[in-house]
A = this chain, B = another copy of it.
Amino acid sequence: MNEFALIDRYFRRSPRGDSVRIGVGDDAAVIRPAPGTELVISVDMLVEGWHFLRDADPHRLGHKTLAVNLSDLAAMGATPRYALLAGALPNSEEAWLGEFAAGFFAIADRYGVELIGGDTTKGPRNLCVTIIGEVPQGTALTRGGAKPGDDIYVSGLLGDAALALEAMQQRTRLAPDALEVARTRLETPEPRVALGERLRDIASAALDISDGLTGDLAHILETSHVGAIIELASIPRSSALDGKLAGSTERDLALRCLLAGGDDYELCFTANRALRDRIVDISRSLDLPLTRIGEITAAQEFIVRDEHGTPLPALPRAFDHFAS
């Protein structure tokens, strides 16, 4: 099956929204933005052997490929609308592509995302998604608005995705049920889109945690020209990770997973403390833990206090694609 037939078979669907004037199948897509809105746009590239393994389940990979992009929109408070998918594949791999497309469209449909364009080519497997969302003018969440005295929150539980990877690579052991939970977090993360939308008029700054809490929160601190104190004991985690943190033999590994583990795709945000009740309401209505883990400071330092109130001497390093 050739390139055009492949695209037709797995990726061309009729445009469903009025705003899509031209979808997949011309030189480019054409969309008509709604008056009074701004468009929020991001791109992420996933590479085999780096972001996923050669034998990764294609259905789950289809989910994750879009999920990581939706997470960027969530961090901006945007409502997802459109996606473009470019992919390099070692060969035409019809069965693989069918599974991948099924996983991709399942999450696309849940979040109302329409695929409006793409490109396929031969090459080492590589998946590149451009995601486009919408916000009312001037309401996008950024990294730059955190103020001294603001609370710092995270959604969900942190560190399980990194813990799953450690276990799958035999660097630690997990009970089968704990591994299954953690692995689901790693392979099919759920983007916090509804949370992002609810935070538009609440959060002073926000981002998604893709490279690890401390590295990502540091971006908010740099952009907002502030510091932070966070309490290790407050950072929400699974009981499996909590157990390793409490022991001594695996504490370093557990700290790394919790503070610098990649692939969490939870939101980290700051908000004025006068808004605590509204955040509790949002947490209840979304059935999603939103945990206060610390506070923004005027002093431009980043301190993580351990269970005894003692600052950690060094923070685990964030994930860096070009670290040697």
Contacts and interface: CB of A to CB of B under 8 A. Distances in A.
A303 interface: no
Contact of A323 (B2, B135, B320, B321): B2
A243 to B, nearest CB: 32
B320 A119 contact: no
A12 to B, nearest CB: 12
A142 B24 CA distance: 12
Contacts of A207: 26-27
Given A28-B40, A135-B30, A124 B126 contact: yes
Copies in the complex: 2
Contacts of A118: 43
Interface stretch (A59-67, A70-78, A155-163, A276-284): A70-78
Contacts of A172: none
Contacts of A47: 88, 121-124, 126
Contacts of A40: 28-30
A176 interface: no
Interface residues on A, range: 35 or more
Contact of A39 (B31, B48, B321): B31
Interface in A4-47: 4, 6, 21-22, 25-33, 35, 38-45, 47
Interface string A104-142: 000000000000111111111010101111010110101
Nearest to A89: B322
A66 to B, nearest CB: 14
Contact of A45 (B30, B87, B137): B87
B41 A31 contact: yes
B121 A321 contact: yes
B86 A43 contact: yes
Given A21-B138, A21-B140, 5 more contacts: A29-B42, A33-B33, A39-B39, A44-B119, A126-B128
A1 interface: yes
A238 interface: no
